[in-house]
Amino acid sequence: MLDSADLLITGGTVVDGSGGSGFAADLAVVDGRMRIISGEAARPRQVDTRIDATGRVVCPGFIDLHSHSGLWILAEPRHEPKVRQGVTTEVVGVDGNAYAPFRRREDLEAFMRLNGGLDGRPEIAYDWDSVASYLDRFDRGVAVNVAFVVGNSALRIEAIGWEDTPADASALDRMGGTLREGMEEGAYGLSSGLDYPPGSYASTDELVQLTAEASRFGGFYHTHVRYTLGDRFLDPFREAIEIGTQGGGPTHITHFYHRSGYPGGPEQLLGLVEEARARGQDVTFDTYPYEWASTRLLIQLPQWVQSGGPMALLERLSNQGVRERLRAEVGHPGAASTSTAGWADIRLGYFGRPANQAWEGRTLAEYMAETGRDAVDAICDLLLAEDLHVSQVTSGPTTDTLPRFVAHPLGMVGTDSTFVGAKPSPRTYGSFPRILGEFVREKRIMGMEEAVRKMTSAPAARLGLRHRGVIRDGAVADLVVFDPQTVAALATYDEPRRFPVGIEHVIVNGTLVVRDGEHTGALPGRALRRGKD
């Protein structure tokens, strides 16, 4: 019997993250670790804080495998959009767009400029140059835990620069050494974003060799695939699986779903993963449970425009000859990108200049109609005026096929959350509660225990976290208490910044960060480091 506990949760149904049936038990938290208490007589005599969880589910904290908070959380460390939906750990450095290591300050500043429409450019101290010094910034200064993957764009910039140049043996050796150093300093793997230069200039063989380096340290390959490859349907995912096969490392396909305009159905996409698993390859994926995607507006332009880095890009955007070439290539939305939506589907955001703020949350089609600009001039002029950091929200997964991916046993949750603009995708505020409320309670596409497994122990296993993602004696006390009858996402396309309901308490490293649905102000999160958590 425990004499005392920092926190005692009583009366709840424990869903432990394993996928097994829930059971009645109390949970005590002592020095940031869990103890399962069976029976009232075994409860500790002295308790600092008590939570009555009668009629509630008590489960491990949710782990988000894809978040664009790598800069934003340092500016807004309470991180309410995520912790208030039950997230206690999230993966940053995704899409190849990691902000460490950058030994040259000018390269870090240039990369933030290029990627500002996706990850933002918050006013914080940019005082790191390595993975180790970057991770130090998160310790006991943010609300949730952070796990980091090294982006291949940073590796390319360090070894080659900003150009579309093949990596020779010397460059591959430098990239491998930089990745090895990052893994030794606590990174969990390698990420790629093969729509985002300069990381998108990497060949398959280059990524194979980097994956092999990461796998030597127990890391994995986390990939936003090369959507423009081959048939633009199955071939991008075949390349991702092949990289893992040849590199000898696990592959994780991020934001995996069926898109409008694909020539085939979801069963063909899921079949690729199932077949690879049947061959013995370790392949997993994540999906966000909303039909709205989001990224930087720059993705609408072909990659050759971006070669050479942000200064070269800005010069090209001002060049009328370049614009004429773009008109020949960008005749319709998606001609140079993965989008197949119309210009009216592109909602704009993250405007800094007062003259442009009237366009916040409005569509590109509206901007074109009211200014008389065609698509090329509209995109180029907006990017020039805002120093590249314009965001977009567009349609993403098809709603009728999305449940297949959300419920698939190999799938997990990656919100792909973005934090810029007045109206980001609602996935940033509502992904986990939407699954629990709509996909579990209302549509019953899977059971509660399976949904919790996919949010907790499965991503913990993917990352190699030994003491998180499950409820058991001695595990780290990352916990969520929610009401299974009321939990729901309120975030919508029109009102995306609405907090969910039913997520009542969230505990990170043994500390209450959300109590009775409100943020306590506590910042107990830290950087997790591979092999040390």
DSSP state for residue 84 in the 8-state scheme = T
Residue 337 has pLDDT above 90, yes or no: no
DSSP state for residue 397 in the 8-state scheme = B
* Region 262-282 average pLDDT: 97
State whether residue 428 is helix, strand or coil: helix
In 13-112 the beta strands, taken as DSSP E runs, fall at 13-14, 23-24, 26-30, 33-37, 46-52, 57-60, 62-64, 87-92
Residue 156 has pLDDT above 90, yes or no: yes
Phi and psi at residue 289, to the nearest 5°: -95, 40
Residue 520 has pLDDT above 70, yes or no: yes
SS3 of 122-138: CCCCCCCCCHHHHHHCC
Q: How confident is the model at residue 45 (pLDDT cuts 50, 70, 90)?
A: confident
* Region 100-108 average pLDDT: 96
CA-nearest of 22, 34, 518 to 8 is 34
Preceding omega of 424 cis (within 30 degrees of 0): no
According to the model, what pLDDT value does residue 38 have? 85
Share the mean pLDDT of the chain: 96
Phi and psi at residue 403, to the nearest 5°: -60, -30
Place of tokens 């991916």: 405
CA-nearest of 84, 89, 38 to 60 is 89
With contact defined as beta carbons under 8 Å apart, do 317 and 383 qualify? yes
Distances (CA, A) of 504 to 8, 282, 517: 15, 35, 4
With contact defined as beta carbons under 8 Å apart, do 296 and 304 qualify? no
What does the alpha-carbon distance between residue 186 and residue 267 come to, in Å, rounded to a whole number?
37
According to the model, what pLDDT value does residue 416 have? 98
What does the alpha-carbon distance between residue 419 and residue 377 come to, in Å, rounded to a whole number?
26
Residue 465 has pLDDT above 90, yes or no: yes
Q: How confident is the model at residue 90 (pLDDT cuts 50, 70, 90)?
A: very high
Residue 333 has pLDDT above 70, yes or no: no
The conformational region for residue 158 under phi > 0 = left, psi -120 to 50 = alpha, else beta, is alpha
CA-nearest of 387, 517, 332 to 121 is 387
According to the model, what pLDDT value does residue 331 have? 60
Preceding omega of 101 cis (within 30 degrees of 0): yes
Residue 338 has pLDDT above 70, yes or no: no
Residue 341 has pLDDT above 60, yes or no: no
What does the alpha-carbon distance between residue 252 and residue 275 come to, in Å, rounded to a whole number?
15
According to the model, what pLDDT value does residue 459 have? 98
The two tokens of residue 131 are: 């993975």
Residue 339 has pLDDT above 60, yes or no: no
Give the H or E element holding residue 158: helix 152-159
DSSP state for residue 446 in the 8-state scheme = S
- Which amino acid makes up residue 305? V
According to the model, what pLDDT value does residue 410 have? 98
| Helix 375-385 vs helix 320-329: crossing angle, to nearest 10 | 130
What does the alpha-carbon distance between residue 212 and residue 299 come to, in Å, rounded to a whole number?
29
According to the model, what pLDDT value does residue 336 have? 42
216-241 pLDDT per residue, tens: 999 999 999 999 999 999 999 999 99
CA-nearest of 320, 173, 151 to 221 is 151
Q: Which residues contact 433 (CB under 8 A, 6 or more apart)?
A: 85, 86, 482, 487, 488, 489, 500, 501, 502, 503
The two tokens of residue 273 are: 């993963």
Q: How confident is the model at residue 335 (pLDDT cuts 50, 70, 90)?
A: very low
Pairing of strands 503-508, 479-482: antiparallel
According to the model, what pLDDT value does residue 128 have? 96
335 burial type by CB count under 10 A (0-12 exposed, 13-18 middle, 19+ buried): middle
The DSSP string of 211-254 is HHHHHTTT-EEEEE--TTSTTSSSHHHHHHHHHHHHHTS-EEE-
* Region 301-327 average pLDDT: 96
Q: Is the pTM of this model over 0.95?
A: yes
The two tokens of residue 167 are: 């990596």
What does the alpha-carbon distance between residue 448 and residue 513 come to, in Å, rounded to a whole number?
24
- Better-predicted residue by pLDDT, 323 or 334: 323
| Helix 266-278 vs helix 235-247: crossing angle, to nearest 10 | 10
**Triad 323, 324, 326: Cα angle to 5°:** 60
| Helix 204-215 vs helix 235-247: crossing angle, to nearest 10 | 40
Length of the chain: 533
The two tokens of residue 33 are: 């670790």
Residue 41 has pLDDT above 80, yes or no: no
Q: How confident is the model at residue 332 (pLDDT cuts 50, 70, 90)?
A: low
According to the model, what pLDDT value does residue 334 have? 43
